[in-house]
Amino acid sequence: MSSSHSGHVVIVGAGAAGLMACRELGRAGKRVTLLEARERCGGRIYPLPASEFGYPAEGGPEFIHGDAIETRALLREAGLSISPIQGTRWNIREGVFSKAESSAPDAEQLFQALAELEADMSVSDFIKRHFAASQFGELRRVITRMVEGYDAADPARASTFGLRDEWVGRRLGNHGRVVGGYGALIEFLTSQCRQLDASIHLGTVIKAIETSGGRVVARCADGRAYAGDAVILAVPLPLLTEIELPPATREKAALTEQMGFGNVVKIILRFATKCWAGAGGKDLNDLSFLFTDTTIPTWWTQYPYGNPVLTGWLSGPRTQAVIHLDEAELVELGLSALAKALDVGLDHLKRGVVSARAINWGKDAFARGAYSYVTLDTRKIQSLLCSSNSDGVFFSGEALYSGRDLGTVEAALASGRQTARTLLAAGHGEAKSPLRLPGQAARDG
């Protein structure tokens, strides 16, 4: 690209990755235009009004997983804190309540098989090869629940190496929530970008990216166009193939269909009281997670906070069975599943509902799903997409993070920072006078 106009980058997508890239480039002295299809920043981070649930409930990601170095550093910078997950996890199977085990059954055999695996294969094939015997029935169920529920993945496509990285290499128990929600973090990042004079345009849907005369142009659905020296596409994977792209970039984007991208349905129910506290004759006052054998298999509370809210979670391939339902129907489905699990009357449960929301990310026009997971092809495609691009088009987002935390806010933040640095290293606009916010240290991170 021409170095004479080397100060302007257009970023498509104001989610965590786009905002992080924007801040990084702004600090390097770049002029940045940030284009967002929604009427808000944050992307899949979707804070709901505190008036609905008594706190800023999360319609999108809610938890911090593992070490999350970028996330925790940014929270400290923003003056935000983390609340660790507390409480007791329970199972309900066929109406029987039991406390959830802290580790998977036959965990020793599982970890040994994972450690000895030399060639990657799908999780389904791994289970068939190593744990087909009847004695491993419960282990098969746990693995499948983890892959479908935690990773929103299809076991027939998910990488076993990816599972190994997640189960063996990461501190799975180190979970928490942002006090005030991820929305507070987005507000902080957005404010930082504005202080660095980024131009942020909401309600701006991009239909095409073109290259012309050494410049890159983002064309909008309403006819507007934004030209820059480089463009960063920081949008969810499914949207990359919906945008018209230059030939070389289009070929790269087409490869993303071989990567994994799962769906999530999230149902949030606020009750007048903690109606689950005495279910099954048990003391569930400190309930954290509830794992059931109903249509909505996973529920969690806001413990130790007193909000009488339950969040239902359905993810992975099983969301296809409910993809056609609207929000009211999903709420009804969630209440029915919860009533069955708790063995209480549906009408009785409904009478206690104060507010309810259901978010089906697969039907969201600007997401087409929830988050990515590792397939057998993911890592090699990531390398291709993240390499420097001669036409000035760069890719960013949680799906392109090469670490263990794929599919998380941490992955998005880390990818946004790395994309900005890759762009700068490629010579797309080295700043003569880096801009710094008041009080910013000379070295980030």
The string of pLDDT tens digits covering residues 317-372 is 999 999 999 999 999 999 999 999 999 999 999 999 999 999 999 999 999 999 99
pLDDT at 212: 84
Bigger pLDDT: 127 or 101?
Answer: 127
Number of structural domains in the chain? 2
| 187 and 241 part of one domain | yes
Structural contact between residues 193 and 34, judged by C-beta atoms closer than 8 angstroms? yes
pLDDT at 172: 52
Q: What domain range includes position 114?
A: 107-169
Q: Which structure tokens are listed for 435?
A: 């801009």
Residue 398 belongs to some domain of the structure: yes
Residue 354 belongs to some domain of the structure: no
Give the residue-averaged pLDDT of 296-309. Answer: 97
Residue 194 belongs to some domain of the structure: yes
Q: Which structure tokens are listed for 411?
A: 């992955």
pLDDT at 336: 99
Compute the mean pLDDT over every residue in the chain, rounded to the nearest whole number.
92
Which of 142, 169, 196 corresponds to the end of one domain?
A: 169
Question: CB within 8 A of 153, min separation 6: which ones?
Answer: 123, 147, 260, 262, 316, 373
Structural contact between residues 387 and 400, judged by C-beta atoms closer than 8 angstroms? no
| 165 and 186 part of one domain | no
Residue 140 belongs to some domain of the structure: yes
Give the residue-averaged pLDDT of 113-135. Answer: 97
| 185 and 152 part of one domain | no
Residue 22 belongs to some domain of the structure: yes
pLDDT at 2: 35
Residue 304, preceding bond cis, omega within 30 degrees? yes
User: Structure pTM?
Assistant: 0.93
Strand order in the sheet with 96-99: 96-99, 88-93, 287-292, 298-300, 309-315, 264-271, 353-360
Amino acid at position 351, single letter: R
| 164 and 141 part of one domain | yes
| 245 and 185 part of one domain | yes
Residue 229 belongs to some domain of the structure: yes
329 SS3 class: helix
Residue 411 belongs to some domain of the structure: yes
**CATH code at 251?**
3.50.50.60
| 385 and 241 part of one domain | yes
Bigger pLDDT: 444 or 229?
Answer: 229
Residue 52 belongs to some domain of the structure: no
| 249 and 185 part of one domain | yes
| 138 and 197 part of one domain | no
